[in-house]
Amino acid sequence: MADFMAEVLPEYDRDRVYPSDMKKLVLWYSLLVNHLPEFFQAPAEGEATDTAPAAPEASTTTEPGEEQKG
């Protein structure tokens, strides 16, 4: 796995990145690929790309112990 990291991130700090960190990176990448494949697709020609991610929608749920007015 260290060889893979060296290939993908040649300048990573080998003293501070542990094998458990590498496993987490691979797991997170796998989750993103499976659940957000459109994130990794290149935009079509002529399509503008956004540089900032979209703002999350405001939540309408209430926290436990909090009553909804109305």
pLDDT of residue 45: 73
pLDDT of residue 22: 92
pLDDT of residue 15: 93
pLDDT by residue (tens digit) across 25-61? 999 999 999 999 888 887 777 666 556 556 566 555 5
Task: Spell out a b/e string for 31-62, using b for 16 or more CB atoms within 10 Å of the CB, else e.
Answer: eeeeeeeeeeeeeeeeeeeeeeeeeeeeeeee
Cβ pair 12, 5 in contact under 8 A? yes
Q: Which residue has the tokens 């957000």?
A: 36
Predicted TM-score of the model (pTM): 0.51
- Which token pair is 16? 């501070």
The identity of residue 62, as a single letter, is: T
